[in-house]
Structures are given as structure tokens and as C-alpha cells.
């Protein structure tokens, strides 16, 4: 067998993602080619792009979406807008992939890998770290954050029964109060074309937030990124908006992604004038309900240890950053 490492383009990665025959595991939305390309083109980091495919003969066994600066290699993406990252590898080929990749990186003069954010089930934490230690490389790994996710049951009643008695009571009470408002409704929208109108409504709600930190986050630059990301995700069919309306106007919205039987809660916003109806929390509760009814298997709250995530059934997932010294 013969291995090779070939430079790739974002368009090339897209064709590999669309080709179901290559068996590559695109484990989460943050490593999809469309996502990586939007991030790279928008933020234009002062780094060298290292998009490489490792091949056995003509068969791709893995992809390394990396960027390089001053002898250090890191993932394309950043922790502030990408909740976790990883390599793209055909299941069972991890050791072959990493062996060839590390050799190529060393030949290029790379002295360290700075890899984050990482889930505990990433290829880095489950395979690469032990491999690197076995090869005599210095490694370090530390937790930097938490993410929360919920394994979805088959029915809404089953979900409610999983909650504590207190939280189950609170969810039902809040839903009754919303229903008593008389003119409230929730819908999940899959934009078929330009999502600009939905993004207009989402950004408006975001900037109304009482939380200064959240309002500051949506700078002009970040808004442009969100709009580009929404357009790219809509184009590949995974963008979703959860919209809770009161009196015919959006009171709360969720921007998320429906991918691999998982609903990712990327961000949310609500109008503070509807605080008395708990619309921020209920927009998420109703999206969980819709996800159960649609047959999804997981609801990913993503990074951050906010109290409501635990109260609504989320389970904690540690998020780490790891370093491998290639000397």
C-alpha cells in the first residue's frame, strides 16, 4: 500500500462530503466544509491554510483542516464561534491517518499541534494523544469549558418524566401560562432560500437583550459572519429557526442546525418585554418538543454551563484543549 498527502480546496472538501462512498466521518456541523470556508473567508486569519487529505493509493482515509503559524498547527476555526472541532477520518483508519499526517507536519517544520476545542469522543482525545505519547512526544490536555447535550426519548411525556418533579412542574406551568396568553404559537422553519428575513428578525431580538455581554457580542463584524454562516447552512439544508410568536410578532428565536439526527442550539434571542412569559426558555423547551416529535436523537445545547441547560435535562460534556510537541 502507498500513502500520500495531497493539498485540497474547500470546494474539494465539499465534493468529498457529498460523496457517501468515501466513508469519511464528518462528526459535527463545525467541521463541515461549508462552515470551515465561511469562517476562513470571513475572519481571514494571518495564518497559512493547511487543508490536506491523506490517501491510501487513491482512497481518502482522512482530512486535516488545519492552519499554521510560527511552526504551530491548529484547527481552522475558533472557540468563540466553533463549539468543538476535530479531524475528518474514515472509521477504523485513525492510526494510519495520524501516522502519515504527523510525518508530513514534521517534514514541514511544524513543532507543535495546538488543538481545541475538543470533545472527549474526538479522534484527538480517543486516538491521537495515546499515539503521540507512544511515539515519545510530549502531550498535555486540560479542560477549558463544558458543553451540555440531551439524549432525546421517543415521546414528549417520556421527556417530562425524566425531569425532576420541580422542573416538570415549572415546564408545565410556563406552558400553561403561554397558552393562556391566547395568541402564542411556535414553529420550526427550514429556510429554502435566502434566510435574510429570518436573520433580520433574529438580529433585532439579539440586540434587544438586557444582557450587555450578549448585545456586545453581536458587533457589525459578527453580524456579517452570522449572516454568511446562515446563508451557507441554508444552502446545504441544515439551517433551522425556532420561532415563538406572541401577538403575531417574534418574541423569541433560536438559530440552530439539524444535522445527523442532532439539533444544535447555536444561539438564541428574545424580546425582554415578554420576560413575564419566559419566552426565552420556552422557545428552547418547544424546540426540544418539536425535535422529539421529528425523531431526532440528540439535542445539543452546545458550550456553556448555564443553569437552564441542566434544569431541562442536559448532561455535561467536558471540552478540552490539547497540545502535542513534535520534538
For the chain, the distance separating the N- and C-terminal CA atoms, rounded to the nearest angstrom, is 28
Question: Which spans in the chain are helix H?
Answer: 10-18, 33-43, 94-107, 123, 129-134, 156-162, 165-180, 196-207, 212-217, 220-235, 279-293, 307-311
pLDDT at residue 209, rounded to an integer: 74
pLDDT at residue 19, rounded to an integer: 87
Predicted confidence pLDDT, tens digits, the chain (327 residues): 799 999 999 999 999 999 877 799 999 999 999 999 999 999 999 999 999 999 999 899 999 999 999 999 999 999 999 999 999 999 999 999 999 999 999 999 999 999 999 999 999 999 999 999 999 999 999 999 999 999 999 999 999 999 999 999 999 999 999 999 889 999 999 998 999 999 999 999 998 876 666 667 788 899 999 999 999 999 999 999 999 999 989 999 999 999 999 999 999 999 999 999 999 999 999 999 999 999 999 999 999 999 999 999 999 999 999 999 998
Can you list the domains of the chain with their CATH numbers? 3-146+318-325 (3.40.630.30), 153-296 (3.40.630.30)
pLDDT at residue 21, rounded to an integer: 75
3-state secondary structure of 93: coil
- Asked if 68 and 50 count as a contact pair (C-beta separation under 8 A), the reply is yes
β-pair type (59-69, 184-189): unpaired
Does this model's pTM top 0.85?
A: yes
pLDDT at residue 205, rounded to an integer: 93
Amino acid at each position: 500500500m502507498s500513502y500520500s498527502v495531497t493539498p485540497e480546496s474547500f470546494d474539494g472538501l465539499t465534493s468529498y462530503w457529498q460523496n457517501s462512498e468515501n466513508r469519511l466521518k464528518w462528526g459535527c456541523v463545525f467541521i463541515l466544509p461549508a462552515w470551515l470556508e465561511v469562517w476562513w473567508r470571513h475572519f481571514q486569519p494571518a495564518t497559512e491554510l493547511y487543508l490536506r487529505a491523506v490517501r491510501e493509493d487513491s482512497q481518502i482515509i482522512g482530512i486535516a483542516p488545519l492552519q499554521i503559524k510560527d511552526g504551530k498547527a491548529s484547527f481552522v476555526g475558533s472557540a468563540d464561534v466553533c463549539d468543538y472541532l476535530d479531524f475528518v477520518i474514515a472509521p477504523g483508519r485513525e492510526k494510519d491517518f495520524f501516522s502519515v499526517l504527523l510525518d508530513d507536519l514534521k517534514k514541514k517544520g511544524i513543532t507543535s499541534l495546538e488543538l481545541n476545542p475538543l470533545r472527549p469522543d474526538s479522534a484527538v482525545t480517543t486516538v491521537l494523544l495515546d499515539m503521540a505519547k507512544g511515539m515519545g512526544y510530549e502531550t498535555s490536555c486540560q479542560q477549558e469549558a463544558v458543553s451540555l447535550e440531551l439524549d432525546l426519548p421517543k415521546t414528549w411525556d417520556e421527556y417530562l418524566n425524566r425531569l425532576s418533579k420541580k422542573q416538570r412542574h415549572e415546564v408545565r406551568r410556563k406552558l400553561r401560562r403561554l397558552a393562556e396568553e391566547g395568541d402564542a404559537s411556535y414553529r420550526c422553519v427550514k429556510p429554502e432560500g435566502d434566510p435574510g428575513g429570518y436573520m433580520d428578525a433574529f438580529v433585532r431580538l439579539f440586540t434587544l437583550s438586557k444582557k450587555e455581554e450578549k448585545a456586545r457580542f453581536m458587533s457589525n463584524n459578527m453580524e456579517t459572519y452570522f449572516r454568511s454562516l446562515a446563508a451557507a447552512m441554508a444552502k446545504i439544508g441544515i439551517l433551522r429557526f425556532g420561532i415563538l410568536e406572541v401577538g403575531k410578532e417574534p418574541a423569541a428565536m433560536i438559530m440552530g442546525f439539524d444535522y445527523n439526527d442532532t439539533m444544535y442550539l447555536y444561539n438564541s434571542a428574545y424580546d425582554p418585554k415578554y420576560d413575564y412569559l419566559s419566552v426565552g426558555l420556552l422557545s428552547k423547551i418547544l424546540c426540544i418538543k418539536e425535535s422529539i416529535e421529528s425523531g431526532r436523537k440528540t439535542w445539543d445545547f452546545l458550550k456553556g454551563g448555564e443553569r437552564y441547560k441542566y434544569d431541562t435535562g442536559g448532561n455535561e460534556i467536558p471540552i478540552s484543549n490539547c497540545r502535542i510537541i513534535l520534538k
